[in-house]
């Protein structure tokens, strides 16, 4: 999904002081991505120094919840 990468790059450009994790979270927020897609792009886009490897599963779960649209 090139759109995730493109959106991520735009957010990084607009917010140079944000960590890659924060930019990624903003990228997927309310976009209804599956856990598989989130995990794949998380591994590609988020720098390893921005999170603890022992907490990765919880982080992915949180990002999945963030991705689920709150609109009804």
Q: What is the rounded CA–CA span in Å between residue 16 and residue 2?
A: 21
Concatenated DSSP letters of 16-39: TTS-HHHHHHHHHTTS---HHHHH
Residue 57's Cβ-count burial label (10 Å; 0-12, 13-18, 19+) is exposed
> Any idea where the domains of the chain sit in the sequence?
1-47
Each residue's pLDDT tens digit, 1-35? 569 999 999 999 999 999 999 999 999 999 999 99
Residue 71 binned pLDDT confidence (cut-offs 50, 70, 90): low
């Amino acid at each position: 999904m090139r759109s995730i990468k493109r959106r991520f790059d735009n957010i990084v450009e607009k917010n140079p002081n944000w960590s890659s994790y924060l930019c990624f979270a903003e990228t997927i927020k309310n976009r209804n991505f599956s856990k598989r897609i989130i995990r794949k792009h998380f591994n590609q886009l988020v720098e390893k120094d921005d999170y603890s490897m022992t907490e990765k599963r919880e982080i992915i779960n949180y990002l999945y919840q963030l991705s689920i649209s709150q609109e009804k």
